[in-house]
Amino acid sequence: MNQTSRQTISRKERGQIFDAFGKHISKGQIRYLTAGHLDVLEGERDGIRFYESQSGKPYIDGFSSAGCFNVGRCNRQVIQKLEAAADDYDMGTYGMLSAPKIRLAKLLADVALGDLNRVLLCGTGADAVEGALKLARGATGRNEIVSMVKAYHGHSGMSLSANGKDHYKELFQPLMPGFRFALFGDLKAIRQMVSERTAAIILEPIQGEGGIHVATDEYLRGLREICNQYGIMLIFDEIQTGFGRTGRLWASEHSGVIPDMMVLAKSMGGGLYPNAAILYRDRSELTGYVDGNPGFHSSMGGGTDLGCIVSASVIEYIVENKIWENVEKMGDRLLGGLRRIKEENPGLIVEVRGRGMMVGVEYKQEFMGILMADCLATHGMFAAYSANAPQVMRFQFPTAATAEDIDEALEIVRKAIRLSKLYLLLLGPLSRIPFVRTMLNKGDILVTVNSWLRKIAFWE
């Protein structure tokens, strides 16, 4: 599209936006984002790109707000549905019934796997995780929850208690007792941890923030077996993996393992309006508990009339266009391309992994995450490193990406790596000293160092 026709803002206005954000929200966030060159203001958003507000510079969106834009940014079909709906509906009354709510609940039950055909609508991913864990404890009468090391389920109290990284928890302790953490992929550890006191095992079929770790089919089948044996509720957090992201409508289709509960959010809102849901199996422990306690998790602001109309339209779009087919093809192209880049640059990348358009590149050093974020941004791609594993760069493009888009993205990665090598000329020798390496891998110090590097960098 023609760059010059885009509306841009002045340098002064950009400054005012940063001042207001710093004054009223967080100066620390600005400092942090600036170091990673993520201090970009999103102006117009369209398809797989957005355009920076001041310069109009196009960026490929490699983050998609952690997988929210599976129907693309500003999808016309969804916008039109919401526009029409705003004439007739508002949020509706929480806890009451309406045609949009019932219709969405039926639609979700129809497209979900197996007997996952009961629905509880929620407001956000964290809210849905809280609801699922409450349901597991309520239905089983048990207290213990098993989660995974590096797991990420949200920041509200219970979802945070299930978070597998101390960084997010340590300042707010004590959180909920009864949570234990197993290494992702280690069935033996699970067997040692569970008993008839375990209410639930919760995991992401592909860990997103944890650094794009794909659960093997055998692991998931093993978990299913263990859960059956002890009467434990198996919960899949498909907040990032759902709605076509992995090359199937649901990540659980790869293994065929049907969890007792599936938690959905992010792309369910089409990038336009928040919505979330828990789908649970039609089995007596679960339905019995919900029927006896219909208000056990009634989320205000969740499952709104407008939100349900958006979500229904998102599902229709995804199913009509079978977007998972493109995701699988383009995901393979992306994975293959990144693996070639790994070969071209020995010693830089440890592993390229992922499924569909949820791909992670693990660098050798933790500080490479922030450095590459910077270099990618310079060349026109917005990509974030994993919150719970900063050495892993995540690529989660809007799923409509074409072969040309993927090739362009790969070219940007190549350019960014060349640029990062300039930085590494300086950082590389230093980082061989163990003490300096430890320091560099500390988030705070890295933020300072990288901000300083960005200031002196002559190539920008």
Footprint on residues 380-399 left by other proteins (CB under 8 A): 382, 384, 387
Whether the CA torsion 71, 73, 79, 82 is positive or negative: it is positive
Residues 2-21 touching other proteins, rule: CB under 8 A, are: 9, 16-18, 20-21
Q: Which long-range contacts (CB under 8 A, 24 or more apart) does 442-446 make?
A: 443/390, 446/35, 446/366, 446/367, 446/370
Q: How far apart are CA 252 and CA 262, in angstroms?
A: 9
Whether the Cβ atoms of residue 202 and residue 129 lie closer than 8 Å to each other: yes
Q: Is 407 a residue that touches other proteins (CB under 8 A)?
A: no
- Residue appearing with tokens 């089919």: 217
Choice between 224 and 297, CB closer to other proteins: 297
Calculate helix-pair angle for 368-378, 403-431, nearest 10 degrees.
130
Whether the CA torsion 81, 246, 368, 341 is positive or negative: it is negative
Stretch that binds other proteins, among 253-261, 288-296, 331-339, 400-408 (CB under 8 A): 288-296
Stretch that binds other proteins, among 86-94, 216-224, 324-332, 403-411 (CB under 8 A): 86-94
Q: Is 213 a residue that touches other proteins (CB under 8 A)?
A: no
> CB 162 → other proteins: shortest distance, Å?
10
Choice between 155 and 414, CB closer to other proteins: 155
Residues 240-279 touching other proteins, rule: CB under 8 A, are: 265-266, 269, 271-274
Kindly tell me which residue out of 190, 194, 235, 306 binds other proteins, with binding defined by CB under 8 A.
306
Whether the Cβ atoms of residue 275 and residue 268 lie closer than 8 Å to each other: yes
Q: How far apart are CA 376 and CA 396, in angstroms?
A: 14
Classify strands 144-148 and 179-182 as parallel, antiparallel or unpaired.
parallel
DSSP-derived 3-state class of residue 76: helix
Q: Is 71 a residue that touches other proteins (CB under 8 A)?
A: no
Which tokens is 322 given? 């079978």
Choice between 96 and 425, CB closer to other proteins: 96
Which tokens is 275 given? 């919505």
> CB 132 → other proteins: shortest distance, Å?
12
- Residue appearing with tokens 């280690």: 186
> CB 196 → other proteins: shortest distance, Å?
15
Kindly tell me which residue out of 3, 10, 28, 325 binds other proteins, with binding defined by CB under 8 A.
28
Per-residue exposure over 116-128, b if at least 16 CB sit within 10 Å of its own CB, e if not:
bbbbbbbbbbbbb
Whether the Cβ atoms of residue 365 and residue 389 lie closer than 8 Å to each other: no
| Binding pattern for the stretch 166-185 against other proteins, x by CB under 8 A and - elsewhere | --x--xxxxxxxx-------
Residues 33-62 touching other proteins, rule: CB under 8 A, are: 33, 38-42, 45, 53, 61
Residues 128-167 touching other proteins, rule: CB under 8 A, are: 130-131, 134, 137-138, 141-143, 154-161
Choice between 187 and 249, CB closer to other proteins: 249
Q: Is 95 a residue that touches other proteins (CB under 8 A)?
A: yes
Q: Is 193 a residue that touches other proteins (CB under 8 A)?
A: no
Choice between 174 and 346, CB closer to other proteins: 174
Q: How far apart are CA 234 and CA 218, in angstroms?
A: 15
Q: Is 96 a residue that touches other proteins (CB under 8 A)?
A: yes
